[in-house]
A = this chain, B = another copy of it.
Amino acid sequence: MSLRAALLGAAGYGGSGLMRRLLRHPNVAEVRAASRSYAGRPLQDAWPHLAGLHGSDSSLFVSPEEALEGADVAFLATPHGATAPWVRAARATGARVVDLSADSRLDATTYERWYGPHPHPGDLDDARYGLVEAHRAELRGAAIVAAPGCNATAVSLALLPFAASGALDRATIPVCTVLAGASGAGRAPALGLHFAELAENVRPYKVAGTHRHLAEIEATLGRAAVQGRSLTTRPTPEPWRISFTPHLVPTIRGILATCTFSVTTTRTTEGWLEMLRDAYANDPLVHVQEALPDMKAVQGTDRALLSARVDARTGLVSSFAAIDNLGKGAAGQAVQGFNVAFGFPETTALELEAVWP
C-alpha cells in the first residue's frame, strides 16, 4: 500500500517528528506538510536541520486545505480545541485520521469538563485511543486514531499492569510525579520557556489535579480496573483518581514519571519487575529493566524504559517510566497507532536506538 499523507501543524515539534518518520515510511508515498504560518515557504525556513535534505529548499509548506486534498491519511498536529474541525474536514475528503491533539481522546462529557464543549461530539464514536500497548486489538482498522498525551503515556505505562492485575490497591491514590522537558510545551515562545528563565531552573506547574492529561490517565486506569489487560475505548469507565504533579525541567526532550502506591500483594523488586516484563512481553516499544531509567536513554526514540522498586520499609512500590515526549509521547506513538490501524508492522519507520551521549 502506498499512501498520500497530509500533515497539519508541520512547523511545530509534533510536525517535525512526524515528517522524519513519514518521509522514511515504506508505505507512505507522499507527505504534504501544511502550516498556516509557513505556507508558501520552503521547509528549511522552519527546520534548519533539513537544509539540503528532502529538497527542503524547493519543497514548500502548503495550506491545510491543499494538504488534505486527495489524502489517504491525515496526521493532525494542531492545537487542542482547533483540531476537531480538521478531523471532520479530513474525513469529508475520505481520509482516515491520526489526531495528536486531545480532541479525539475523550468522550464528549469528559472532554467538556476539561476543555470545554466539543464541536463535533458525534465524531468521537469513531475514535480509538491510541495507546497501542493497551488498545492494540481495538485500533486495527480504526478510522480515527487518538494519539495519547505525552504525560498520559508515561504514567499509564507505569501504572497499567499494576491496575489491570489488581495489584494496585484501588482504595488508595497513586502519587505520580512527572519531570518533563521544555519541548512538551510546544514551539511558541513564552517567558517560562525563554532560555534564560528555564536554564538552571525546575518548576512545578498545573499541580493539584489541574493538568488536563489527568482525564486520559484516569480513564485508562478506570478501564483497566474493569477490563483488565486489553482495553476498549467505549464505554467510558469510572475514572481512577490519581495525584499528578508535573514539573518542568531544563532538558529539551524527555519525560520521567515516578509513581508511588500501595499494593495488595507482597513481592520483591525482582518479582514486580517480572510482572512488568510479562505484561509487556509482546510490546516492542516497551523495555522493562532492572536499572533505574535515564531520561537520556530514550531521547530521539519511540521506546519506553520501565523499572520498579519496592521499599521494604514502607511496603510502597515505585514504578518508573522514561519516554521521549516527542517520540513515544507524540510522533512515534502516532505512527505506531497508524501502523496498527493500517495493518503495517507496528514499528515501521520508528526509532528504537538513542544516540549517546
**A52 contact set on B, CB distance < 8 A:** 287, 289, 303, 305
Interface membership of A205, Cβ < 8 A: yes
**Chain B residue, CB-CB nearest to A353:** B53
**A115 contact set on B, CB distance < 8 A:** none
**A243 contact set on B, CB distance < 8 A:** 260, 311, 314, 316, 318
Which of B51, B208, B300, B312 makes the CB contact (< 8 A) with A209?
B312
**A208 contact set on B, CB distance < 8 A:** 269, 309-312, 318
Interface membership of A182, Cβ < 8 A: yes
CB within 8 Å for A49 and B292 given contacts A311-B209, A316-B243: no
CB within 8 Å for A256 and B252 given contacts A49-B356, A51-B291: no
Copies of this chain present:
4
Interface membership of A251, Cβ < 8 A: yes
Q: Could you tell me if A207 and B309 are in contact, using CB atoms closer than 8 angstroms?
A: yes
> What are the interface flags for A49-92 relative to B under an 8 Å C-beta threshold, 1 for contact and 0 otherwise?
11111000000000000000000000000000000000000000
Q: How far is it, in angstroms, between the C-alpha of A247 and the C-alpha of B256 when the chains are bound?
A: 10
Q: Could you tell me if B13 and A251 are in contact, using CB atoms closer than 8 angstroms?
A: no
CB within 8 Å for A250 and B247 given contacts A200-B299, A204-B258, A318-B207: no
Segment from A94-102, A189-197, A223-231, A334-342 that makes contact with B: A189-197
Which of B201, B253, B301 makes the CB contact (< 8 A) with A295?
B201
Q: Could you tell me if A245 and B318 are in contact, using CB atoms closer than 8 angstroms?
A: yes
Interface membership of A294, Cβ < 8 A: yes
**A50 contact set on B, CB distance < 8 A:** 353
**A258 contact set on B, CB distance < 8 A:** 177, 204, 207, 245, 247
Interface membership of A179, Cβ < 8 A: yes
**A291 contact set on B, CB distance < 8 A:** 44, 48, 51
Q: Could you tell me if B254 and A200 are in contact, using CB atoms closer than 8 angstroms?
A: yes
Which of B181, B195, B312 makes the CB contact (< 8 A) with A198?
B195
**A310 contact set on B, CB distance < 8 A:** 208
Q: Could you tell me if B20 and A353 are in contact, using CB atoms closer than 8 angstroms?
A: yes
**A296 contact set on B, CB distance < 8 A:** 48-49, 197, 200-202
Q: Which residues of A contact B (CB under 8 A)?
A: 13, 16, 20, 44, 47-53, 173, 175, 177, 179, 181-183, 187, 189-191, 193-205, 207-209, 241-243, 245, 247, 249-254, 256, 258, 260, 269, 287, 289, 291-301, 303, 305, 309-314, 316, 318, 320, 352-357
7 nearest A-B residue pairs (beta carbon): A52-B287, A189-B189, A208-B309, A49-B354, A201-B296, A196-B357, A175-B175
